[in-house]
């Protein structure tokens, strides 16, 4: 996982560097958007499925403020697991025709809940968390777009940072300003 994480950063570095160059021409007028979709994460050893809801607000031609909520659910061993994330951060978008790749960095909290129905035990915890990753929007007609997104969810637990992959696929609705 560490090597994949490193490779991701290395690959994204040229893209981030290129973003510093001035734009060659007028770009699409940025609009706030809302994303809702299916989401999967491999949290620890458990595969969890759920949803992701995020909204972004442009603060420049290509930079956006992002608020991100997600909920993932599943079971492992004899326990039912729930993981909820609430993150905020920034997103850099490279809009090009119908495609809009983006990279983002988010910080916030991760709440995990573990319950074992057989013995009626429940346990919950809230830790610092974050997300680093990116995705791709493909614009459909009107305000709609589809988005594929991949993040490394970061969780600060037991004095160490852990990273778990999160994949999301869903629809984007672009609001009018």
CB neighbourhood size of 175 (10 A): 12
The distance between the two most distant Cα atoms of the chain, rounded to a whole number of Å, is 63
What is the rounded distance in angstroms from the CA atom of residue 50 to the CA atom of residue 42?
Answer: 11
| 73 contributes a contact to other proteins by CB under 8 A | no
CA-to-CA dists, residue 87 to 97, 132, 141, angstroms: 29, 11, 29
Q: How far is CA 52 from the centre of its chain?
A: 8
Residue where the block lists tokens 């830790």: 127
Using CB under 8 A as the binding rule, the residues of this chain from 134 to 153 that contact other proteins are 134-136, 148, 150-152
| 59 contributes a contact to other proteins by CB under 8 A | no
Return the number of the residue (60 or 119) whose C-beta is nearest other proteins: 119
| 90 contributes a contact to other proteins by CB under 8 A | no
Judged by the rule CB under 8 A, the positions of this chain that interact with other proteins are 1, 4-5, 7-8, 11-12, 14-15, 18-19, 21-29, 42-46, 76-79, 81, 83, 94, 96-99, 101-103, 112, 114-116, 118-125, 127, 133-136, 148, 150-152, 155-160, 162, 165, 167
């Amino acid at each position: 996982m560490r090597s994949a994480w490193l490779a991701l950063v290395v690959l994204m570095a040229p893209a981030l560097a290129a973003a510093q160059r001035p734009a060659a021409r007028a770009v699409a007028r940025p609009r706030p958007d809302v994303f809702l979709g299916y989401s999967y994460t491999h949290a620890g050893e458990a595969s969890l499925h759920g949803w992701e809801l995020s909204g972004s607000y442009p603060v420049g031609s290509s930079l956006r403020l992002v608020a991100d909520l997600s909920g993932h659910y599943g079971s492992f061993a004899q326990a039912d697991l729930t993981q909820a994330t609430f993150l905020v951060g920034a997103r850099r978008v490279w809009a090009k025709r119908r495609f809009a790749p983006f990279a983002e960095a988010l910080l916030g909290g991760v709440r995990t809940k573990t319950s074992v129905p057989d013995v009626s035990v429940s346990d919950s915890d809230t830790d610092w968390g974050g997300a680093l990753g990116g995705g791709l929007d493909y614009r459909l007609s009107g305000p709609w777009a589809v988005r594929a997104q991949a993040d490394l969810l970061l969780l600060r637990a037991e004095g160490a940072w852990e990273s778990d992959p999160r994949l999301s696929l869903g629809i984007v609705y672009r609001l009018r300003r």
